[in-house]
Structure 1
């Protein structure tokens, strides 16, 4: 089962990269989709590549690494908001006040659907 999930994920990424020409690769269209599928099959079926165990540990969640990434993302997000607020403050008091009003409005507008989705999840779970 895990091989199917890993293979599908690898195939989706390959299709995106080769089919649409992302990350510096040429846009190959349908031919790119075929090339991505052939590469995925080759990597999974080739006996010489199996010894490298490329996809063996891909499905395991490493909580310590996940925690570190989450901490870094929250830290960066908070710092970006702080820097934007400081930059807005250099434009004047009125601009800073308008920024805060818009920011708080966005937060309120986001929290209503978020709370509704949490409540829906709880009800469905019950």
Structure 2
């Protein structure tokens, strides 16, 4: 199967990427930075199964570039796991939250950027 996993550079996204690779699937792992050490290690281990793509869900042009790359590499995707997210303002109390920072997190986590 062909997977596309956003936010694949850490946490749940990285774990899902690694598990899909172990099971023999082909994975398009995306993150804002594809130079993450953990992803590079997986690329060494699963060079024929893993393609790393730089996508910032808030930057439509980066998404369009990834689509072009996907079309060159594959005819279809079987699974899309939209895991990209941020957790800003985590050290603040609810009274201290910056509404603009909360709006950015909501935009990325719920809408995937505009």
Q: Tell me if both proteins adopt one fold, taking TM over 0.5 as the criterion.
A: no
Decide which structure has greater strand share.
Answer: 2
Shorter-normalised TM-score: what interval?
A: under 0.3
Considering Cα pairs closer than 8 Å and 6+ residues apart, tell me whether 1 or 2 has the greater RCO. 2
Which structure has more helix as a fraction of its residues?
A: 1
Q: TM-score scaled to structure 1, two decimals?
A: 0.21
